[in-house]
């Protein structure tokens, strides 16, 4: 499952459902009675796995799975295709995170149950994008006509790649990419933006562009995808969003972050009403509830 598997209209339906779940959770408390979600996580995760588990549990369903490749048969050399064939006998739906790009896609081809990509390497993270879009839509009322700044590790940050791919479908989107030279957005994304004539800029200094932004999407430097420790250490604190920088921003700008945060947002910003990242985590549960219901065809 990729956000682009859904049309913009289908996404609207999903977000309307997520908002209804937010407002009337009791109406959905038994919607997945008797259903099982398998979480197959071959890579570390806290919130993505737990938010899937929370989502299924809040729908009345049950959860099985593993949180570590070493505790699964992958450690014995089993392929994801074989694993998913077997999981298809045990569960009704599966959320899979894998360090290899495309692994959940390969799994879905052999699966009898829906497989949700819960992050594949540095590639995509579609359910985080659904979370980001639902947060923006719920807090701003629309998804078009935004100038969005994406800041930090734009090279390895899979949430960034998925979000750009989704936002290009909304009219009036303008991107400002804020990163050190070494962590720029991959070329294939730049080419896609040029082809579609989507306006974008690439800059290094956050301060310079801050006043223009409607949304600021901060990201962590992705330590686990670096080839050497030295580069990571040099780049990890390149950006620190603090209250001084927030003074340069619009009064209604939203600060988003997929979390986990390291140092890129100072904790003093948490009290700023524009800081939306913890609410974003809450929206992540509602949107995953809506996604499970939709994929299981229970709505």
Closer residue to ligand NCD (CB): 13 or 47:
47
Q: Minimum Å distance from CB 45 to ligand NCD?
A: 6
Interaction residues for ligand NCD, span 87-146 (CB under 6 A): 119, 125, 128
Half-sphere exposure in the Cβ direction for 180 (13 Å, CA): 16
Closer residue to ligand NCD (CB): 141 or 260:
260
Q: Examine the residue annotation and report whether 125 is marked as an active-site residue of this protein.
A: yes
Q: Examine the residue annotation and report whether 76 is marked as an active-site residue of this protein.
A: yes
Closer residue to ligand NCD (CB): 88 or 222:
222
Contacts of 77 (CB under 8 A, 6+ apart): none
Q: List the Cα angle 262/267/118 in 5-degree steps.
A: 45
Interaction residues for ligand NCD, span 160-199 (CB under 6 A): none
Phi, psi (deg, nearest 5) at residue 20: -65, -40
Closer residue to ligand NCD (CB): 35 or 288:
288
Asked if 48 interacts with ligand NCD (CB under 6 A), we say: yes
Asked if 220 interacts with ligand NCD (CB under 6 A), we say: yes
Distance CA 14, CA 20 (A): 10
Q: Minimum Å distance from CB 219 to ligand NCD?
A: 6
Identified catalytic residue from 35, 97, 158, 220? 97
Contacts of 177 (CB under 8 A, 6+ apart): 149, 150, 154, 184, 185, 200, 201, 202, 203
Interaction residues for ligand NCD, span 50-69 (CB under 6 A): none
Site for ligand NCD (CB under 6 A): how many residues?
11
Phi, psi (deg, nearest 5) at residue 39: -105, 115
Distances (CA, A) of 240 to 232, 264, 279: 15, 4, 21
Q: Minimum Å distance from CB 29 to ligand NCD?
A: 25
Q: Examine the residue annotation and report whether 112 is marked as an active-site residue of this protein.
A: no
Closer residue to ligand NCD (CB): 31 or 136:
136
Q: Minimum Å distance from CB 124 to ligand NCD?
A: 9
243 to 272: interface string for ligand NCD, x by CB under 6 A: ---------------xxx------------
Q: Minimum Å distance from CB 152 to ligand NCD?
A: 9
The residue ranges that bind ligand NCD (CB under 6 A) are: 47-48, 119, 125, 128, 158-159, 220, 258-260
Active-site positions?
47-48, 76, 97, 125
């Amino acid at each position: 499952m990729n956000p682009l598997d859904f049309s913009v209209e289908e996404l609207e339906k999903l977000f309307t459902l997520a908002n209804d779940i937010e407002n009337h959770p009791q109406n959905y408390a038994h919607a997945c009675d008797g259903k099982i979600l398998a979480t197959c996580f071959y890579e570390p995760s806290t919130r993505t796995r737990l938010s899937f588990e929370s989502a299924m549990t809040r729908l009345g369903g049950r959860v099985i799975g593993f949180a570590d490749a070493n505790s699964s048969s992958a450690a014995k050399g089993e392929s994801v295709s074989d694993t998913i064939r077997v999981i298809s006998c045990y569960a009704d739906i599966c959320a899979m995170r894998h360090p290899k790009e495309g692994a959940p896609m390969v799994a879905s081809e052999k699966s009898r149950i829906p497989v949700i990509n819960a992050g594949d390497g540095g590639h995509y993270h579609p359910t985080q994008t659904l979370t980001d879009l639902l947060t923006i839509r719920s807090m701003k009322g629309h998804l078009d006509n935004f100038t969005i700044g994406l800041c930090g590790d734009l090279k390895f940050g899979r949430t960034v790649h998925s979000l750009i791919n989704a936002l290009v479908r909304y009219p009036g989107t303008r991107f400002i990419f804020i990163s050190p030279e070494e962590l720029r957005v991959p070329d294939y994304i730049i080419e896609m933006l040029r082809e579609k004539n989507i306006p974008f800029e690439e800059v290094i200094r956050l301060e310079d562009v801050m006043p223009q932004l409607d949304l600021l999407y901060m990201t962590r430097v992705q330590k686990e995808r670096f080839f050497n420790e030295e580069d990571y250490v040099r780049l990890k604190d390149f950006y620190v969003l603090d209250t001084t920088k927030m003074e340069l921003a619009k009064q209604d700008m939203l600060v988003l972050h997929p979390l986990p945060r390291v140092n890129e947002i100072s904790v003093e910003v948490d009290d700023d009403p524009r800081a939306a990242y913890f609410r974003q985590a809450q929206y992540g549960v509602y949107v995953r509830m809506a996604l499970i219901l939709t994929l299981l065809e229970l709505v």
